Structure 1
Amino acid sequence: MTVETFPRGPRPFDVAAALGGLALGLLLWAVGLDLYPRRDVPGWWVLVPLAVTAGLELLRRVRPLTGLAVGCVALVADQLTTGSLATVLLFTDLVYAAAVYGSARLARRLPVAAGALTLAAVVWSVVTWRDAYSLMPGLGVGLIVFGPAATGALVRHHRDAARAARREAERTARLAELDRAQAVTAERTRMARELHDVIAGHLSAVAVHSTAALSLDDADTSRRALGVIRENSVAALTEMRRLIGLLRAGGEDLEPSAAPTLESLPPLAEGVRAAGFAVTLDLGPGLGSGPDAGAGRVRLPSPVELAAYRIVQESLTNVLKHAAPGPVTVALRLDGGALRVEVTSAHGTPDGQSARAPGAGAGLIGMRERAVLVGGGFEAGPEDGRWVVRAHLPVPEGEGMVP
């Protein structure tokens, strides 16, 4: 549901339009340039609807519907006097402002109502006078009412389209930033594994040569072994410092050996909420911590928690890439000796568009492999107009207990 908000006060342009329209009307009245000069009414009467319409310019953004309604009354009153062109011009601006700054419903209905009024004026004038000039009153109503209403609706449409394009661009930028962060994390992980293998090789060399130094009673052999041990120890320490620096590159609070757990799901969901999706995180009793979790934290095996986290992470990434706007629900439950994970989202991209960002196409395969590695199962596909991802991850008996 869209809630219309109004500015707190008139803008400088509104004040200038009010003063300018009033000044123009006074000038026209002073020189005697009236729309209907032959009417037998006091000439100053025309100033009353002029003043009212000029004052309504201050409401063109603040209360556009109120300004239009009172402006209609003022315009009718102006037709009963000698008439002022300035009043008519100010009224057309009120119609335009109502279409641009009013509610979405008003913007849709105003051109239709104005068009119906114009058509009715044309039919009435033609039936009444039955000559070529009988079209003039209807055309005048069209210029005063339908023209500004249609113009305002068109301007509002383009403004809303530009705003939607900016939101989509911001969402795409956030998605690109998320992909970049994931790519950096993946690269850091790959480098960390490589450094781990390098360090393991150095330590293996230390172990082998220390065994040789201890088993052989030969001074030269022991000296050479100690030299190799020192060389590999220094190299291992260097690589270890590089590994620690790599793992801490994202911030001082990063724990190098920490793996994601269920307690990491709320920040993950918050990141997707920032991209404009309404994510509901429903953690069953004993899972997670914080406002989104149940009470009494259950400690699950690390492989199970890591698999659950990665499945949810990949599902939410697919939501950012492929899902149409709509609610997203992430539910985790302990049921029947297994952790059950379910992620539901809108099916398909909006208006048949392609994916917002390219992917490798291995997301579902990776989620299935993670579930199978811990002895579980995985399924994903459309269901009742939504995309549903389900996984069940077995919890060995006696391991899903409250500490």
Structure 2
Amino acid sequence: MPLPFPALSPRRQDQLIALCGLLGGSVLIVFKVYDRADRVPLWAVVLPLVVLAGLELVRRTRPVLAVSLGGLAFAGSLFAGSLLATLIMYTDLLYAAVIYGTPRMSRVLHLSGGATVLALSTLAAIYGGTSGALLVVVVSSLVFLAPVWTGDVVRKHREEAEAERLRAEQTALLSEMDRREAIGAERARMARELHDVVANHLSAIAIHATGAQSVARRRSLPEDDPLVEVLAVIRENSVQGLAEMRRMIGLLRDSGGGEVDESYAAPDLAAVDALLAKARAAGQDVGLDFELSESGERGDLPVPVGLAAYRIVQESLTNALKHAGPGLVSLRLEFAPEELRIAVDSPYRGGPGRGLPGARAGLVGMAERAGLLGGSFEAGPRDGYWRVRAVLPRAQGNEGRA
């Protein structure tokens, strides 16, 4: 497959035009392809050629100067020895003056070009007859009017295209504003529904679970009683669910037009140290300690991957506090180029508490989070430890699946 040519800057384009005109004119001069080649001195032909080639360099930035001096150089070349390269460069200067000049410049060139054609055709009619006058009209129109008309048409098309582009941008902006307004309204409605329905139910569950715990304490039920443990699990999960629900409500109520409150930001592995600090504080009474080890470059994790990793670590530490025996809970994070590996090992303790209702809901949630990202998850007892293993792909392409 051939490689495309690199786009030239406007300055490079002008330099290329000047160089081509200069080289083309030089070839014509070498072979004496110009009028009165046997009588006109060489400098009289070369000088207009060099002047017009130099003016090509400022055809965009100084169109008035270019077309004015170019007209004088072209007139001199007509009297000395008409050269095709000089003629072509002068018509290009007329075209550029209309394209890059002011609208007033276009009107001036139309009037001056028409006046020049009229004057030349009149002189031709007086001294050469009707046939000569018609020939002069055609040739002079091609030289003085055709480039101006062409430039005027191209300029109008460019202005129309620019106006259409601006109109399209304005339409896209208005559409984006309408879309954001609709999204904001929908998010506000969802936030109201979550707050008025789900959050209130979670609050009621937490309140009733707390009341039930108070009744159990008044009846002097032991702490390891299955009913007491179930009530503790219900209350803890309802309180955590209520906190997460408030976080979601805060995210939904942010319309996207300003800075998001940091308290509503989705958690990621940057907060793993805070999780470990809380776990250490809670595990002191039951003889648990926690340690963290990392390997590899953490880098930037996609938001869904960071959130899933945080939740898996959070749930693993919570399960260790609930069910692990005394000892050391180790958390290992391995940041590979293509994936993130999470390993949690906690001392395994069997017992009736592991058969509590809902005890495996956290394991199911962790497996679902890993599966949605295209990763893997496994958990279970082995060699006296409860092992949790999760592998999450780091690829951005997996974000859409989350």
Report the TM-score, using the length of structure 1 for normalisation.
0.51
The 10-residue stretch of structure 1 (151-160 or 190-199) with the greater mean CA deviation from structure 2: 151-160
| Amino acid paired to 1:242 | M
Residue of 257, 260, 264 corresponding to 1:254: 260
Letter in 1 for 2:260: L
Q: Please, which of 239, 242, 247 is the counterpart of residue 244 of structure 1?
A: 247
* CA shift in 2, pair 1:210/1:62, >3 Å: closer
| 1:35 match | 35
Contact 1:202 1:233 in 2 (8 A): no
Q: CA deviation at 1:84?
A: 1.4
- State how 1:164-179 maps to structure 2 within 5 Å: 164-179=163-178
Match of 2:246, as an amino acid?
Answer: L
Superposed displacement of residue 205, structure 1: 7.1
The equivalent residue for 1:194 is 193
Report the CA distance between 1:90 and its aligned residue: 1.1
Contact 1:118–1:138 (CA<8 Å) still a contact in 2?
yes
Which amino acid in structure 2 is aligned with residue 238 of structure 1? Answer: G
Determine if the alignment matches structure 1 residue 89 to structure 2 residue 92. no
What's the offset of the Cα at 1:43?
Answer: 4.4
Matched length: 247
Please report how far the alpha carbon of residue 29 of structure 1 lies from its aligned counterpart in structure 2 after TM superposition.
2.2
The structure with the greater share of residues assigned to helix is 2
Report the CA distance between 1:180 and its aligned residue: 2.3
Unaligned stretches of 5+ residues in structure 1? 1-8, 258-403
Give the equivalent residue in structure 1 for 2:104. 105
Q: What's the secondary structure of 1:33's corresponding residue?
A: coil
Letter in 2 for 1:133: G
Verify the 8 A CA contact 2:199 2:242 in the aligned structure 1.
yes
1:186 Cα shift? Answer: 1.2
- Secondary structure of the 2:80 match is coil
Residue type of the alignment partner of 2:251: R
Render the CA deviation track for 1:256-299: whole Å, top value 9, x for unaligned. Answer: 99xxxxxxxxxxxxxxxxxxxxxxxxxxxxxxxxxxxxxxxxxx
Report Cα offsets for 1:11-62 as digits up to 9, x if no partner.
Answer: 2222222222222222222222223458x54344222212211211111122
Q: Please list, as runs of the form range in 1=range in 2, the aligned pairs for 1:124-203 lying within 5 A after superposition.
A: 124-197=123-196, 198-203=198-203
The answer to whether the 8 A contact 1:21-1:54 is kept is yes
Aligned partners of 1:127, 1:228: CA distance in 2, in Å?
Answer: 116
> Aligned partners of 1:155, 1:20: CA distance in 2, in Å?
23
CA offset digits 1:327-377 (Å, max 9, x no partner): xxxxxxxxxxxxxxxxxxxxxxxxxxxxxxxxxxxxxxxxxxxxxxxxxxx
Instruction: Answer yes or no: is the 8 Å Cα contact 2:210–2:235 preserved in 1.
Output: no
Deviation for aligned residue 1:236: 6.6
Q: CA deviation at 1:207?
A: 6.8
Equivalent position amino acid for 1:189 in 2: A
* Paired residues for 1:3-402 under 5 Å: 11-37=11-37, 41-197=40-196, 198-203=198-203, 234-235=237-238, 237-248=240-251, 253-255=259-261
User: Does the Cα contact within 8 Å between 1:10 and 1:62 map onto a contact in 2?
Assistant: no
In the TM superposition, residue 94 of structure 1 has moved relative to its aligned partner by 0.8
Residues 56, 71 of structure 1: 8 Å contact kept: yes
- Aligned-pair CA distance for 1:212: 11
Quick one: distance in 2 between partners of 1:206 and 1:44?
101
Q: Which has the larger radius of gyration?
A: 2
Q: What is the CA distance between 1:77 and its match in structure 2?
A: 0.9
Residue identity matched to 1:55: G
User: Is the alpha carbon distance of 1:24 and 1:212 closer, same or farther for their aligned partners in structure 2, counting shifts above 3 Å?
Assistant: closer
1:118 Cα deviation from its structure 2 partner: 2.6
**Could you tell me which amino acid in structure 2 is paired with residue 32 of structure 1?**
K
Q: 1:133, CA displacement in angstroms? A: 2.5
Contact 1:35/1:85 (8 A) holds in 2: no
Deviation at 1:74, TM superposition (A): 0.4
C-alpha distance in 2, partners of 1:209/1:30?
104
Counterpart CA distance in 1 for 2:194 and 2:235 is: 14
In structure 1, C-alpha distance between the alignment counterparts of 2:129 and 2:157, rounded to whole Å: 40
Q: Contact 2:67/2:97 (CA < 8 Å) preserved in 1?
A: yes
Between the aligned partners of 1:74 and 1:116, the Cα distance in structure 2 is 19
Tell whether the 8 Å contact from 1:97 to 1:152 is kept in structure 2 after alignment: yes
Give the secondary structure class of the aligned counterpart of 1:248.
helix
Letter of the 1:96 partner, please give it.
Y
Is the CA contact (8 Å cut-off) linking 2:213 and 2:231 kept in structure 1?
no
Tell me the C-alpha RMSD between the 2 structures.
4.1
Instruction: Tell me whether 246-255 or 64-73 shows the greater mean CA deviation.
Output: 246-255
The DSSP-based 3-state class of the residue aligned with 2:81 is coil
